[in-house]
Amino acid sequence: MRAALDVLSAVLLLTGAAFCVLTAVGVLRFPDPVCRLHAAAKAQTLGVLLILGGTACQVSAHHIVSLALVAVFQLATVPVVGQVVGRTAYRTGAVHRESLVADELEARLAEDERGG
Amino acid sequence: MDAVFVLTVDLLAASALLTVVRIVRGPTVLDRIVALDVLVTLIVTAVAVGIARHDTGSSVPLLLVLTLLGFIGSITAAHLVEEREDMR
């Protein structure tokens, strides 16, 4: 049983670390702050969840609840950061608006300005 | 099993290095905010690997604090960038 847990946590830890490396490469290579947000939000969250899973296999049972809480916090906070940073990037002009395929925010912003 | 922990921490160190390169190079402040958020999350994963390696429950609360602190920091920095022109 112990060996099975070791193998499982080894696989989870290494896959999670691989996704963390992919996140860093994505944050480094993508052209636009909003594109980098993709890498930072998605791959990073998966990396953290996998590594927390690998940790949970190694650690005694009563710590698993707090590790699950960390995973829930991670899942709850990353989308909010993505939304706020994305909106700020759009409003401060960090996003090249002509490169956007669909742009629903422009109409809303114009409407907000008109609405006073 | 030790080799797994060492390799995992090495990969995390490599990704932290790449993230620091983005922090240094990032043209806009928002790139730095995104990269710093990734860096804080990498620290959380490194602490988690430390917990797995030494089987100690003492630093699990540190994970919780780091996760929330990184979140609040990113939100506040993004709000600051939006409010103040000179912070762009």
pLDDT score at A92: 82
pLDDT score at B82: 86
Domain range for residue A94?
A: 2-114
CB contact under 8 A, A67 and B38: no
- Sequence letter at residue B43: I
Any residues with CB less than 8 A from the CB of A29 and at least 6 apart, and which? none
Any residues with CB less than 8 A from the CB of B23 and at least 6 apart, and which? B31, B32, B35, B36, B39
The answer to whether A72 and A52 have CB atoms below 8 angstroms apart is no
- Sequence letter at residue B42: L
Any residues with CB less than 8 A from the CB of A14 and at least 6 apart, and which? B4, B7, B8, B11
Cα B29 from Cα A103, distance rounded (Å): 23
The total number of structural domains that make up chain A: 1
Q: How many CB pairs below 8 A link A and B?
A: 161
| Surface of B (5-34) touching A: CB under 8 A | 5, 7-8, 11-12, 14-19, 21-22, 28, 30-31, 33-34
pLDDT score at A116: 57
Rounded to a whole number, what is the distance in angstroms from the first to the last CA of chain B? 46
CB contact under 8 A, B1 and A10: yes
Would an 8 Å CB–CB cutoff place B74 in contact with chain A? yes
How confident is the model over A11-20, as a mean pLDDT?
95
CB contact under 8 A, B5 and A66: no
Would you mind telling me the total number of residues written for chain A in this entry? 116
DSSP conformation class of A95: S
Report the gap between the CA of B71 and the closest CA in chain A (Å).
6
Cα A28 from Cα A22, distance rounded (Å): 10
Any residues with CB less than 8 A from the CB of B29 and at least 6 apart, and which? B77, B81, B87, B88
pLDDT score at B76: 93
CB contact under 8 A, B1 and A6: yes
Any residues with CB less than 8 A from the CB of A72 and at least 6 apart, and which? none
Q: Distance of alpha carbon B73 from its chain centroid, rounded?
A: 11
Four-way CATH pick for B2-87: 1.10.287, 1.20.5, 2.30.30, 1.10.760: 1.10.287
Which residues in chain B are contacts of A40 at CB distance < 8 A?
Answer: 34-35, 37-38
Nearest to A88 by CA among A74, A109, A65: A109
Report the gap between the CA of A24 and the closest CA in chain B (Å).
5
pLDDT tens track for A60-112? 888 899 899 999 999 999 999 999 998 888 888 777 777 777 777 777 777 87
- pTM, full prediction: 0.89
pLDDT tens track for B19-55? 999 999 988 888 999 999 999 999 999 999 999 999 8
DSSP conformation class of B85: G
The answer to whether A34 and A69 have CB atoms below 8 angstroms apart is no
Q: What is the ipTM score, two decimals?
A: 0.90
